Structure 1
Amino acid sequence: MKSLLTDHMDADDVSVRTLLGLGSRRQDIGNLRQLQLAPLHGKGKLRLWAGVAMVLLAAFSMVSHVAWALVTGWLTCALIFCLWSYRSFIVRPLGEARATSPAEFALCNRHAFYAALLWIVPFWLQGPVPGADHALATWAITLLMMLTLAMIAHSLPSVCILYIAPVSLSAALALTLAGTPQLAAVAIAAGLLLSGFCVRFAQNHVRFRRAEETLHEKTETVSLLLREFEETSADWLWQTDNARRLVHVSPRLAFALGGTAEALEGVPLLQALSGDAWETGQFPKNLHTMAERMKRRESFSNLIVPVTIGGKPRWWELSASPRLDETGKFLGFRGVGSDVTEQHATAEQIARMARFDNLTGLPNRLSLHEDLARALTQAIEAKSRCAMLMIDLDRFKAVNDTLGHPTGDKLLAQVAARLKGLMERGMTCGRLGGDEFAVVLHNVPAASEAEDLAKRIIAAISRPYVVDNHQLFVGASIGYAIGPQDGSTVETLTRNADLALYKSKDKGGNVVAAYVASLHAQAEERRVMEQELRGALDRGEFELYYQPVVTAADGTLNGFEALIRWHNKTLGNVSPGRFIPLAEDSRLISPIGEWVLRTACHEAMKWPSNLKVAVNVSAEQLTDPAFASVVVSALAQSGLTPQRLEIEVTESVFLRDGGGAAQLLDQLIGLGIRLSLDDFGTGYSSLGYLRKTQFSTIKVDRSFVVGAAKGSIESIAIIRAVVALADSLGMSTTAEGAETEIEVDTLRSLGCSNIQGYYYGRPMPASDVMMLFRPPEPAASAAA
């Protein structure tokens, strides 16, 4: 509904000229005239009888001192005018929105002026010099007529003034000629005051009606929005009275509660939500919190509460505010709710994915570190002990190399099951990654108990396994540290347990080693490796290998991931898993990472222009403020366009960073460089990282790929969730570790954008990559 006044003219700004109809004809006044004429609607008979009564009263007052012929003539004319005016307006529906026109406003003004001319005559029926009594009596009647008109036509000040002004002036002149100038002044003053009153009253009338219409418009708008919300939204509205009982139950809310609107009317909201718990009073914590806030008449927003509908548990998100009347009296609550059961289940799954290892179901590194922190705190406060056991499987790599990763994954799952079977109260086992596991012990009376458990673990793990009709044997090397004597922080105790693990592996495996202050063998190995690592760049011992990444839909090659290899004359081929952490600890990762970046960009320039290269970047590199300039320099020197470079980072970047790394990544994105989140789902998996940084790719870990190919519902659901999340955020997905045709077909069906794995190619040196782009030799040359 449009407001009575247009946007060009607010009611508070209506001038006297506009009210009187003296403004420009082109001025946009909206529905102002309809507003002014509205009070006259349906009052035609009232105006007629009021006019007739005044005419008769005036004629009766003039009979004694005015000739009968003159009185009769005026009376006849006046009655005819009353009837004519009534007939003129009765056919016009004054004040109706569809019928009102400027002509009606003008007609009212004309009739007012005609009436004024009619009522001027009685003052002069005695002659040019009327008597004082006659002039005074006539003035009294015309004053009554003016007051009546002001009451009936108060919204039309022009009508009132066109009648009042001529009559007042005529009365003043008659009273002056009759020898009563004081009464003449009173007549003038009365006319002016009455005219001013009409103008002021008309302005107030406009303001009042405008506010009334605005309120009505807002009420209709709110009602319309509420109806549209109920009809189109997945949410529903709810309302309670001051006793927290449901009122005005909508069909949508009734359907959500599994009942009818009539049956739910007057039912306590808590009873409708709690189901069987209403009888016992054992409400879930969040539902109890909501009840307490409603009891205190407090607002609440986005409160997730468990509800029971038809005997089935659901999760609802509720928001509400108290309702108050104009006096501040509490009327109840009004709010909105929605069913978030599916979202809650997905959030729980993602939260579990962030804290538990998907392959084994054991707590991951984050969960273990948190548990170790609690154990250390309790040990320090109680002046007792705790322990951290680090477990590394022996001969597991041979299983992966000979039988493949699927068999290795099944073996890891069986190892995890045996570890869980050994756990007792106060023990927590988890998987750190790969073939590394850990156990946290709370309240250890003596170090011998940690060693006894370690021996039992080795005995259990060393028993034979049967996987896919293969009998397998693995062992375990275990190192442990006792807290807080071997370390009062999680990092220190974990590092020392890891040093003990190196000691046990040096002894040939299936050995338990305790942390001691002098772990010379491990320290010496690290010293030698670090010394060799410091000169590896100058000696040219590093080499980059490239693993293909293909488009899932058709297997088209779209890029390579650069992977570093190190061959040392003393140490031989050193795994990146061994020297990269050492390079990070010794602050050598920045020059090594710069070499990798420059070399990869240089090699990529030799490839077709549609292929990109992905380079892994560690958290240590991103803490270097000069890293962005290194990237720009590498691109400039090689000539590679930023769009062909993809930087891969893991979530550890954000865990170890206070915000600087995220800003640096934003700078790289601003240059046009692509950003990939590696190992998503295997570590911390916080969705907050996806919100903070505009990734272009999410890499799905191989463990999910293997699980999905085996029909694991959880793995399939997680990959679908990651793909849907990536699609909604405008990202692509790359599945790692695809080794079989079944895995590739599964990933395609789940909607992954890209695939990387042995199925399409193992990592290869740069020379082998170039062979892929060499055109085939002619048949004659080949024959020769």
Structure 2
Amino acid sequence: MSRSSSTGSGAAPRPVHRRWGDMLRADALRMHYQPLLDLRTGRVTKVEALARLRDGDALIAPGQFLPSLCGDGHLELYRRGLAQVLTQRNAWRRIGIDVVASVNLPPAALGDPRYFDATRAAFREFGCAPGELMLEVLESGALPCGVELDAQIASYKTLGVELAQDDLGTGHSSLSRLRELPFDCVKIDRSIADLQDHDAADVLPFLHHLTRLGQALGKAVVVEGVEDPALLDALRIFGVDLAQGYGIARPMPGEQFPEWIAQAHFEPRRAARASRYARLAYLMVWEERMLADAHLRTQGAAGHPDATGDIDAWLAGDGPSAQARDGLLDAARDSGVHSGAYRAARQRLIATM
């Protein structure tokens, strides 16, 4: 709901900060909604609520106004934001749109019972069935000390609320949180999916292995910051559950969402294997299988009957890619997937993609 990492700076003059705090209390808060795409079904099943302040014709991003909130300002933002979100969700349901809404929760809230009380009160006032709300615990601050966090999270779950660890890969002890706390979902931070400043061959391994880690721990996995729709092909291959970002949709006012979702179509592309992102993803999944087969053989078990056949399916034909593919297979067979020869052959194959 807050997203302090949004566009904007907190370096505004103090009188401006005071004004923004006053605006929040004067009903200037406007919640916008960014869709989350279910990669298995191609349907939008969730939205994340993101806070804005309306100042005339301008919208103030949370990165600007959050530093102005002091005392109980964050609690006030949560109360007002949650009320707007549940009201909007009820309006959507009346016209046949049923999506889960997610709201951001500051880490300190897990040590402050007033946030739980505010959540319970909002449910009583606006109604919210189990599974209809997700709270995203932000990575922007340390979790409170001296608090039984399992018990705090369990109290929210008694309301039927799902909880997500937000911004996995940044912030405060995110892997420890993932291991120790009973989150239902993890969201991989947008910085991990940054393809503007980093090559896909460097980005995709992080997405692949973080997805495997989250799912191995029984969590649903969301990738944030998807700006290129072609990346969706690779995320589907990795088995990512949901994706979010400008490549799907920008945050929008609630009244615009029905028209947008009526026109949105995100079926997997038939030519997915032709994209570079998809080819790289298939390579990584194939390598994962090859490594598993190699381990099985060292234990005296049979490997996959035709592991090499998978690579032919997405690098079929002639030309440089096929030649590089054959070189990769030769290196894997003759020297093993951990060898220098294999790594060199892998680089040659990636260069042809």
**Hey, what's the Cα distance between the residues in 1 that align with 2:89 and 2:37?**
16
Name the amino acid aligned to 1:590. Answer: L
1:169-248 alignment, distance < 5 Å: none
Q: 1:374-413, CA deviations, whole angstroms, 9 ceiling, x for partnerless residues?
A: xxxxxxxxxxxxxxxxxxxxxxxxxxxxxxxxxxxxxxxx
SS of corresponding position for 1:626 = helix
Name the amino acid aligned to 1:594. Answer: R
Q: 1:30-73, CA deviations, whole angstroms, 9 ceiling, x for partnerless residues?
A: xxxxxxxxxxxxxxxxxxxxxxxxxxxxxxxxxxxxxxxxxxxx
**Other-structure match for 2:54:** 567
**Hey, what's the Cα distance between the residues in 1 that align with 2:158 and 2:202?**
36
Aligned pair partner of 1:534 in 18, 21, 45: 21
- Report the CA distance shift for 1:536/1:660 in structure 2 as closer, same or farther (over 3 A): farther
**Hey, what's the Cα distance between the residues in 2 that align with 1:666 and 1:702?**
28
CA drift at 1:610: 4.1
Name the amino acid aligned to 1:618. Answer: P
Aligned pair partner of 1:579 in 58, 62, 65: 65
Aligned pair partner of 1:658 in 146, 150, 164: 146
1:16-31 alignment, distance < 5 Å: none
**Other-structure match for 1:624:** 112
**Hey, what's the Cα distance between the residues in 1 that align with 2:257 and 2:134?**
18
1:141-540 alignment, distance < 5 Å: 502=11, 525-526=13-14, 528-540=15-27
**Aligned pair 1:764/2:249, yes or no?**
no
**Aligned pair 1:594/2:79, yes or no?**
yes
**Other-structure match for 2:237:** 749
Name the amino acid aligned to 1:760. Answer: I
**Aligned pair 1:693/2:178, yes or no?**
no
- Report the CA distance shift for 1:659/1:651 in structure 2 as closer, same or farther (over 3 A): farther
**Hey, what's the Cα distance between the residues in 1 that align with 2:257 and 2:7?**
31
Are 1:619 and 1:649, in contact at CA under 8 Å, matched by a contact in 2?
yes
CA drift at 1:635: 1.6
CA drift at 1:543: 0.5
Are 2:106 and 2:137, in contact at CA under 8 Å, matched by a contact in 1?
yes
Aligned pair partner of 2:137 in 630, 640, 649: 649
Q: TM-score, normalised by structure 1?
A: 0.30
Are 1:679 and 1:699, in contact at CA under 8 Å, matched by a contact in 2?
yes
Larger gyration radius, structure 1 or structure 2: 1
Q: 1:406-463, CA deviations, whole angstroms, 9 ceiling, x for partnerless residues?
A: xxxxxxxxxxxxxxxxxxxxxxxxxxx8999xxxxxxxxxxxxxxxxxxxxxxxxxxx
SS of corresponding position for 2:186 = strand
CA drift at 1:657: 3.6
**Other-structure match for 2:307:** none
Are 1:676 and 1:698, in contact at CA under 8 Å, matched by a contact in 2?
yes
**More RCO (CA 8 Å, sep 6+):** 2
**Aligned pair 1:553/2:40, yes or no?**
yes
SS of corresponding position for 1:606 = helix
Are 1:622 and 1:653, in contact at CA under 8 Å, matched by a contact in 2?
no
**Aligned pair 1:637/2:122, yes or no?**
no
Name the amino acid aligned to 1:547. Answer: Q
Name the amino acid aligned to 1:667. Answer: S
**Hey, what's the Cα distance between the residues in 2 that align with 1:548 and 1:598?**
19
Q: 1:186-229, CA deviations, whole angstroms, 9 ceiling, x for partnerless residues?
A: xxxxxxxxxxxxxxxxxxxxxxxxxxxxxxxxxxxxxxxxxxxx
Name the amino acid aligned to 1:581. Answer: P
**Other-structure match for 2:298:** none
Q: 1:658-702, CA deviations, whole angstroms, 9 ceiling, x for partnerless residues?
A: 325553222112332111111110223442212332111111122
SS of corresponding position for 1:683 = coil
Query: Superposition RMSD on alpha carbons, in Å?
Result: 3.1
Are 1:558 and 1:612, in contact at CA under 8 Å, matched by a contact in 2?
yes
SS of corresponding position for 1:760 = coil
- Report the CA distance shift for 1:540/1:644 in structure 2 as closer, same or farther (over 3 A): same
Name the amino acid aligned to 2:117. Answer: S
**Hey, what's the Cα distance between the residues in 2 that align with 1:694 and 1:733?**
14
- Report the CA distance shift for 1:538/1:671 in structure 2 as closer, same or farther (over 3 A): closer
CA drift at 1:579: 1.2
**Hey, what's the Cα distance between the residues in 2 that align with 1:435 and 1:537?**
18
**Other-structure match for 2:92:** 607
**Other-structure match for 1:721:** 209
- Report the CA distance shift for 1:687/1:538 in structure 2 as closer, same or farther (over 3 A): closer
Are 1:738 and 1:755, in contact at CA under 8 Å, matched by a contact in 2?
yes
SS of corresponding position for 1:546 = strand
Are 1:593 and 1:621, in contact at CA under 8 Å, matched by a contact in 2?
no
Are 1:530 and 1:586, in contact at CA under 8 Å, matched by a contact in 2?
no
**Hey, what's the Cα distance between the residues in 1 that align with 2:6 and 2:90?**
35
Are 1:709 and 1:742, in contact at CA under 8 Å, matched by a contact in 2?
no
Name the amino acid aligned to 2:64. Answer: R
- Report the CA distance shift for 1:634/1:642 in structure 2 as closer, same or farther (over 3 A): farther
CA drift at 1:643: 0.7
**Hey, what's the Cα distance between the residues in 1 that align with 2:42 and 2:23?**
37
**Hey, what's the Cα distance between the residues in 1 that align with 2:16 and 2:141?**
25
**Other-structure match for 1:736:** 224
**Other-structure match for 2:191:** 703
SS of corresponding position for 1:703 = coil
Are 1:589 and 1:621, in contact at CA under 8 Å, matched by a contact in 2?
no
Are 2:110 and 2:143, in contact at CA under 8 Å, matched by a contact in 1?
no
CA drift at 1:706: 2.8
**Hey, what's the Cα distance between the residues in 1 that align with 2:195 and 2:150?**
32
- Report the CA distance shift for 1:697/1:679 in structure 2 as closer, same or farther (over 3 A): same
**Other-structure match for 1:332:** none
- Report the CA distance shift for 1:768/1:686 in structure 2 as closer, same or farther (over 3 A): closer
Q: TM-score, normalised by structure 2?
A: 0.64
CA drift at 1:714: 4.5
Name the amino acid aligned to 1:676. Answer: A
- Report the CA distance shift for 1:681/1:594 in structure 2 as closer, same or farther (over 3 A): same
SS of corresponding position for 1:537 = helix
Are 1:546 and 1:563, in contact at CA under 8 Å, matched by a contact in 2?
yes
CA drift at 1:755: 0.7
Q: Which runs of 5+ in 2 are unaligned?
A: 264-353
SS of corresponding position for 1:757 = coil
CA drift at 1:615: 0.3
**Hey, what's the Cα distance between the residues in 2 that align with 1:640 and 1:435?**
31
SS of corresponding position for 1:629 = helix
Q: 1:283-303, CA deviations, whole angstroms, 9 ceiling, x for partnerless residues?
A: xxxxxxxxxxxxxxxxxxxxx
Greater fraction of residues in helix: 1
Runs of 4 or more consecutive aligned structure 1 residues displaced over 6 Å after TM superposition: 433-436
**Hey, what's the Cα distance between the residues in 2 that align with 1:653 and 1:705?**
22
SS of corresponding position for 2:122 = helix
